Structure 1
Amino acid sequence: RNGHTLLGVLNYTKTPGGSRRLRSNILEPLVDAETINTRLDCVQELLQDEELFFGLQAVISKFLDTEQLLSVLVQIPKQDTVKTAESKITNLIYLKHTLELVEPLKAALRSCNTQLLKAYYNSLEDTRFGIILEKITTVINDDTRYTKGCLSMRTQKCYAVKPNISEFLDIARRTYTEIVDDIAGMITQLAEKYSLPMKTSFSSARGFFIQMNADCSTLPNGQLPSEFTKITKMKNTYSFTSADLIKMNERCQESLREIYHMTYLIVCKLLNEIYEHIHCLYKLSDIVSMLDMLLSFAHACTLSDYVRPEFTDTLAIKQGWHPILEKIAMEKPVSNNTYLTEGNNFVIITGPNMSGKSTYLKQIALCQIMAQIGSYVPAEYCSFRIAEQIFTRIGMDDDIETNASTFMKEMKEITYIIQNANDKSLIIIDELGRGTSAEEGIGICYAACEYLLNLKAFTLFATHFLELCHIDALYPNVENYHFEVQHVRSSAGNKEKIAYTYTLSKGYTEEKNYGLKAAEVSSLPSSIILDAKEITNHIAKQILHRQKSTPEMMKQRAAYQLAMRLVQTARNSRLDPDSLRVYLKALKKKYEGSCPTPGKNDEQH
């Protein structure tokens, strides 16, 4: 319901079935690359062929809720009431309307090229669609169709069955027509009698009633004649009835009940003949909802510069941005790169409060979901590894219902991730261990990271604990990134403010006391902020120097990176021998540059 969701960004569906399908796909994306690429081929064709896109969209938008229609059609009513009869007649008209759209849908798909769209075209060539429609048209009038407006639809239902099928039905319909004509004639006579601009109106709740547009001053004594009752006024529009009109409405309803009952008996007989062929409609419902969803993906692409994703063993996003943020801001947000491989599968992200860490993490999860449902992705280029599950630990709220504190909720979430994650998972953790003391929080984070490092899952871990960044000295598959900020002096020159760039850079953040700077922006009293600064400086002096990477560790890390690159090249390389030779020489040069030389080490010592 809220437009600021992934469903809100992608939902340009025209049918209820398409909207439901999109929602279920977002909640449970595909994990088979071949199926995803089949969908992406369709989206690509829809984007390249405008005639196909607009032709399909025009037909799909005319379909009703086929899935719901089928479920109602096959239901056996508990008792035969007027409401049941009316509902069954309506559903048969809906079915006729749906089947009449099969040929236009086939015509729209006739020139398609992709495998899936061709398969849908072949499915629509099922002869059962024609058989059902033929059976319906032997009983139901050709011009009976679904229309908007309760009176129009009531008329369609009354005259749905062809004449001469039931003599009693024809007599009941003539009676109904006479009553409706009498009502119109009576209202015309009343208008002439009182010289007022009365007209006949209808609503499903009131039946026929009189409506009139007139200013109060034009009425005799400012009031309507006494024979009119149930008067309502909205601005200058009066709605009212009379005793005679109420009686005629009752006669009209009685006549209608007879018509519905007799039509219902004919419709039930017709439906019994149709039921053996009805299975083809489930396939039609599936085709319509899938085409609607694919059209929706293509529509979303036309509104922004999305790109087709590739599927490899690497998560690489070049200049990707947050799709929901783009919709909220009505402009393209700051874009960032992402790169995770089997050899660098763990990324630690640091940066001040409000620098963009949480938005970036959510962006990656959303892009992964978009790629795996067959949609294009907000980026200049993107490659994904199929994720079997996406685990997130984002946000911090107490859970009153389960009596869980913030910290306890964090622990339950990380426990769930540890117990269920595997090598094909995508894990996103936005801060951990904040609900307890700093030492214990760092300890929990470190231990959780070491456990997750044993998996080959792609993990992104945002934290304010800078001590955690030094884990890269022990584990070469860890990369540190941070969000850059700039320091800007105010015009008076006495205060320094943080300007957020929302840009991701390599290494961990060099910012100090950014929590205090964020507190300064808030309305916290200056005396408290000064005290906080003093206490922070005192604690900082007592903390030991951070651990530095030794030359041996740097050499091991460089060797690890080289080995992983070579494995990746052996698996995925499509380069010719000469290009491969150049690439391998560049890798060797990079490795030699990453290894510390003995002379430099001696100088450092």
Structure 2
Amino acid sequence: MTEKTPMMRQYMSIKEKHKDSVLFFRMGDFYEMFRSDAEDVSRLLNLTLTKRHGIPMCGIPYHAAQNYIGRLLNAGRKIAICEQISLPKKGIAVRDVVEIITPGTVVDESFLDKKSNNYLAAIGKVSKVMTFSYVDLSTGEFMAASCSDNHPQEFIRKELSRLGPREILIQESLFDEAYFRSLSNKSGLVLNRIPDWLFDTDSSYRQLTEQFQVANLKGFGFQADDPAIAAAGVLLEYLKDTARHYLTHLGGLKKYSEDLYVSLDDATQKNLELIRNMDDGSSSFTLLNVLDETSTSMGARKMRQWILNPLRSKTGIDARLEAVSILYKNQILLSEIRSVMSHILDMERLSSRIGLDKAHAKDLLSLKDSLKKVFEIEKILEKAEGFSPICTPVMKTTLQNMADQLEEAIMEDPSILLTEGRIIRKGYDSSLDELRELKNNSRAVLDDYLNSIKEETGITNLKLKYNKIIGYFLEISKLQSDLVPDHFIRRQSLVGAERYTTSRLGDLESGINSASEKIVELEKSLFIAIREKLKPEIPVIQELCNKLSELDCYSSLAYTATIRGYVRPQIRDDKSLLIEGGRHPVVEAHLPPGEFIPNSLHMDDKTSTFALITGPNMAGKSTFLRQTALIVLMAQIGSYIPADQAVIGTVDRIFCRVGASDNLARGESTFLVEMNETAHILRNAGERSLVIMDEIGRGTSTNDGLSIAWSIAEYLLEDIRSKTLFATHYHELTNLEHDSLMNLSLSVQETGDDIVFLKKIKEGPANNSYGIHVASLAGLPEEVVSRARQILESMELHKQNSTLIIPETQPVQQQDLFSSDEIVLDQLKSVNIDNMTPLEALNILHSLQENLKN
């Protein structure tokens, strides 16, 4: 095989159209890859790379392709599936790409995280306005937004952090690979350059109205000149090109409005560890891990969305809290719902596979079984006060008809392959039943036919035989040949007999010989027809899934509140923040029951809106800051909270600037990152925001840091006037005076040279930072700790007389390898009490006591 063979010319022609994808080139029972694709894939998948006529090549079996495709997707590759379309009588097979699988467009469950959405996003700019859209092809969710403020990069950074897309389409003039990769936590992120001219509002508008078969997009909330449409149109075009299929399950384009949700920038999402921890990026030790007790995959994805999109509206929050409260107060109802819900499969993604013609028979069987469970939940909810039915009467009729049809059509334990048959239930189609009867009982069918012919003709010695030359035939002795009816067709004459056939016998023979093939073909056509009938009902299934996932979230939050001792917060439309006995939900969940030390916080609507918190490191400042933010966030997603009681005034944004981090890849030091995040807060925070700031200014010199921290505190107090918790190690800040400021600190118990961190918040500033004690607890060498105490004493003296004299280092006495205590203990262990008189025992005790004194 050389570059000049017809097959390689065909390969090169197809590859030219798909340069950015790995081309899976079907040859018989294998997908073959050539040249650079072969070199790349062999390295990624550990496959043997061979050469033929100098052309690198490798291949994978057709039946095992799914496993290899999944690994390539995780590595950030796109795969173009090139199949044999037809086999002409002459020349090579006709081949073409039938599908392009990319990380952002995959719908196969084996390639997806069942608890997370799989987003594809598009970013562009139209008339100086940032246009942004995202879609999850596996669920049908399709959203668009635009941002016209002065800081569109902050909007994009926040959205990409919230969504975590696996693939992004970026307008060419905005393309900056290093920048966009720095915003993602996805190792296999795919970035695509899209020509600027494709981000066109007019052409996108036409595409979208055609897709949704509407005259305009006003019903979806978009005007014809809305910049958000441009990114949505680019996404739609990309989906059509990759799926090579009409996207019937994209029910409609929705407008994402930031005004409906509490804004959480990327730093806040990270610092509060909402869905990913800062250690390994997993969901362990996160708020999601604590709250997600959902029973379905749909509910798990919804819970993730709720945590990242807390509500601003008091009405919406109270509605969720009321639903959680009903279940919380009725534990029997809660248990029944959770039990039935656990048997409902992922109908949301299943409906998408129906729309894309990727659903197999077991998928439809799962849909039927899940719908039956939905009807059970409906009956349970009928006896629950305060809950509306999941289904409207029209929905219920549609879903019941769907379940009945699937019950009638699909057999139990069907094959997932259309090429195997074993899909359609007996009795659904009479033609199929006849073919199966023919295949399974061919001898009985022939005997029945023979008996009917004997009865019809009166030829008693009529026989039905078979040979390989003429097939099935009827044999009659020459003595009865005069009884042969006219429709008999002579096939062969023998000395004493005549052989005949009939049109019916010919049909039976043809049927018996081709029954298996016909069964498979008929089952396939029947199944496809059933699947097609379901497509118009996909919007009904999607609406059902939305309601089910919400119910699952309510039951999850009620269950979490039950097992963790949470209470219902009171929600207000003001700036109050009153928390009695608040606890950190994540830290508490990983401690033995009762070990977490609760703390309270009282911030009213007009005064005491700024809490300045001082105290030593390790005393619990950061935990208290984070727990306050998490409690507010939990309340605004509609969850019960870890506290004795609470009054939460709704916030529009939460900002959390805690911890130290750098971004060396972008040339940003720890202090620069800290200042960038702080500048973002000061630009965007408002009076109804909650601001959490921890140790601002520690990344630079003491005087610079103190000056910056002081100035920031004043700006928050006087200009922004947000609810603020401001933790600092600069005790000078406690001299700040303002009507809205209150000083809080962490309690410390001192006993001689020892201190105990009580981890309790108290009113008033801290007296000491106890830094040297913390250093000692951390295990610094005694020489270092002792020297630090000497220098500290000199510095404190300097404050009094303005003369700083650093004392000379005093040698620390080297301790014996074994202390006297250890020696005495060893002596005591070696004493044989059973062989001693009382006097000997007293003498040894006196000796040991003297050793300890010395």
State the alpha-carbon separation in 1 of the partners of residues 578 and 438 from structure 2.
Answer: 72
The match for 1:97 among 365, 369, 375 is: 369
State the alpha-carbon separation in 1 of the partners of residues 395 and 694 from structure 2.
Answer: 52
Q: How far has the Cα of 1:167 moved from its partner?
A: 3.8
Q: Structure 1 counterpart of 2:750, which letter?
A: H
Over 3 Å counting, the alpha-carbon distance change for 1:532 and 1:311 in structure 2 is same
Q: How far has the Cα of 1:340 moved from its partner?
A: 1.2
Unaligned runs of 5+ in 2: 1-281, 443-513, 802-854
State the alpha-carbon separation in 2 of the partners of residues 137 and 394 from structure 1.
Answer: 56
State the alpha-carbon separation in 2 of the partners of residues 256 and 438 from structure 1.
Answer: 85
Q: Structure 2 counterpart of 1:458, which letter?
A: K
State the alpha-carbon separation in 1 of the partners of residues 665 and 433 from structure 2.
Answer: 60
Following superposition of structure 1 onto structure 2, how do residues 418-567 of structure 1 map, counting pairs within 5 Å?
Answer: 418-453=682-717, 454-471=719-736, 473=737, 475-489=738-752, 496-511=753-768, 514-543=770-799
Q: How far has the Cα of 1:39 moved from its partner?
A: 1.2
Structure 1 partner of 2:45: none
Moved more, 531-540 or 424-433: 531-540
Over 3 Å counting, the alpha-carbon distance change for 1:441 and 1:16 in structure 2 is same
Identity of aligned residues (%): 30
Over 3 Å counting, the alpha-carbon distance change for 1:255 and 1:52 in structure 2 is farther
Structure 1 partner of 2:406: 136
The match for 2:590 among 305, 322, 328 is: 328
Unaligned runs of 5+ in 1: 77-83, 179-253, 490-495, 546-605
Q: Structure 2 counterpart of 1:57, which letter?
A: R
State the alpha-carbon separation in 2 of the partners of residues 258 and 338 from structure 1.
Answer: 75
Following superposition of structure 1 onto structure 2, how do residues 39-118 of structure 1 map, counting pairs within 5 Å?
Answer: 39-76=320-357, 87-114=359-386, 117-118=387-388
| Structure 1 contact 371–377 (Cα < 8 Å) conserved | yes
| Structure 1 contact 96–145 (Cα < 8 Å) conserved | no
TM-score, scaled to structure 1? 0.68
State the SS of the aligned residue for 2:581. strand
| Structure 1 contact 307–377 (Cα < 8 Å) conserved | yes
| Structure 2 contact 293–560 (Cα < 8 Å) conserved | yes
The match for 1:26 among 307, 313, 323 is: 307
Structure 2 partner of 1:286: 546
State the alpha-carbon separation in 1 of the partners of residues 302 and 800 from structure 2.
Answer: 56
The match for 1:127 among 391, 397, 412 is: 397
State the alpha-carbon separation in 2 of the partners of residues 317 and 63 from structure 1.
Answer: 38
Q: How far has the Cα of 1:430 moved from its partner?
A: 1.0
Following superposition of structure 1 onto structure 2, how do residues 328-477 of structure 1 map, counting pairs within 5 Å?
Answer: 328-332=590-594, 333-341=596-604, 342-453=606-717, 454-471=719-736, 473=737, 475-477=738-740
State the alpha-carbon separation in 2 of the partners of residues 393 and 318 from structure 1.
Answer: 24
| Structure 2 contact 584–623 (Cα < 8 Å) conserved | yes
State the alpha-carbon separation in 1 of the partners of residues 632 and 441 from structure 2.
Answer: 61
| Structure 1 contact 90–157 (Cα < 8 Å) conserved | no
Deviations 1:417-469 (A, max 9, x none): 01111111100011111111110000000111111112231000111000011
State the alpha-carbon separation in 1 of the partners of residues 516 and 308 from structure 2.
Answer: 46
Over 3 Å counting, the alpha-carbon distance change for 1:41 and 1:356 in structure 2 is same
Structure 2 partner of 1:569: none
Q: Structure 1 counterpart of 2:795, which letter?
A: I
Deviations 1:295-328 (A, max 9, x none): 1111111112211001122100001111111111
State the SS of the aligned residue for 1:427. strand
State the alpha-carbon separation in 1 of the partners of residues 352 and 517 from structure 2.
Answer: 25
Over 3 Å counting, the alpha-carbon distance change for 1:127 and 1:429 in structure 2 is same
Structure 2 partner of 1:268: 528
Structure 1 partner of 2:167: none
Deviations 1:18-58 (A, max 9, x none): 11111111111111111111111111111222332122112
State the alpha-carbon separation in 1 of the partners of residues 694 and 438 from structure 2.
Answer: 72
Over 3 Å counting, the alpha-carbon distance change for 1:280 and 1:139 in structure 2 is same
Over 3 Å counting, the alpha-carbon distance change for 1:88 and 1:256 in structure 2 is farther
State the SS of the aligned residue for 2:776. helix
Q: For CA contacts below 8 A with separation 6 or more, give which structure has more relative contact order.
A: 1
Q: How far has the Cα of 1:269 moved from its partner?
A: 1.0
State the alpha-carbon separation in 2 of the partners of residues 410 and 487 from structure 1.
Answer: 34
Structure 2 partner of 1:319: 581
Over 3 Å counting, the alpha-carbon distance change for 1:128 and 1:540 in structure 2 is same
| Structure 2 contact 409–428 (Cα < 8 Å) conserved | no
Over 3 Å counting, the alpha-carbon distance change for 1:343 and 1:88 in structure 2 is same
Structure showing greater radius of gyration is: 2
Deviations 1:156-209 (A, max 9, x none): 98254334616457646986999xxxxxxxxxxxxxxxxxxxxxxxxxxxxxxx
State the alpha-carbon separation in 2 of the partners of residues 323 and 145 from structure 1.
Answer: 44
Q: Structure 1 counterpart of 2:587, which letter?
A: L
Between Structure 1 and Structure 2, the one with more helix by share is: 1
Q: Structure 2 counterpart of 1:284, which letter?
A: L
Deviations 1:523-581 (A, max 9, x none): 32333323322222222233379xxxxxxxxxxxxxxxxxxxxxxxxxxxxxxxxxxxx
Q: How far has the Cα of 1:365 moved from its partner?
A: 1.0
State the alpha-carbon separation in 2 of the partners of residues 2 and 124 from structure 1.
Answer: 40
| Structure 1 contact 14–292 (Cα < 8 Å) conserved | yes
| Structure 1 contact 348–469 (Cα < 8 Å) conserved | yes
State the alpha-carbon separation in 2 of the partners of residues 174 and 443 from structure 1.
Answer: 92
Deviations 1:363-404 (A, max 9, x none): 111111111111101111101111111101111022222221
| Structure 1 contact 427–459 (Cα < 8 Å) conserved | yes
State the alpha-carbon separation in 1 of the partners of residues 583 and 741 from structure 2.
Answer: 23
Following superposition of structure 1 onto structure 2, how do residues 228-247 of structure 1 map, counting pairs within 5 Å?
Answer: none
State the SS of the aligned residue for 1:109. helix
State the alpha-carbon separation in 2 of the partners of residues 544 and 289 from structure 1.
Answer: 66
Q: Structure 2 counterpart of 1:279, which letter?
A: P
State the alpha-carbon separation in 1 of the partners of residues 732 and 521 from structure 2.
Answer: 79
| Structure 2 contact 382–389 (Cα < 8 Å) conserved | no
State the alpha-carbon separation in 2 of the partners of residues 168 and 395 from structure 1.
Answer: 69
Over 3 Å counting, the alpha-carbon distance change for 1:277 and 1:518 in structure 2 is closer
Q: How far has the Cα of 1:92 moved from its partner?
A: 1.8
Q: How far has the Cα of 1:406 moved from its partner?
A: 1.1
Q: How far has the Cα of 1:130 moved from its partner?
A: 2.3
Moved more, 50-59 or 40-49: 50-59
| Structure 2 contact 345–367 (Cα < 8 Å) conserved | no
Deviations 1:324-358 (A, max 9, x none): 11111122310010111231110010111100000
Moved more, 10-19 or 118-127: 118-127
State the SS of the aligned residue for 1:329. coil
Q: Structure 1 counterpart of 2:356, which letter?
A: Q
State the alpha-carbon separation in 1 of the partners of residues 687 and 793 from structure 2.
Answer: 43
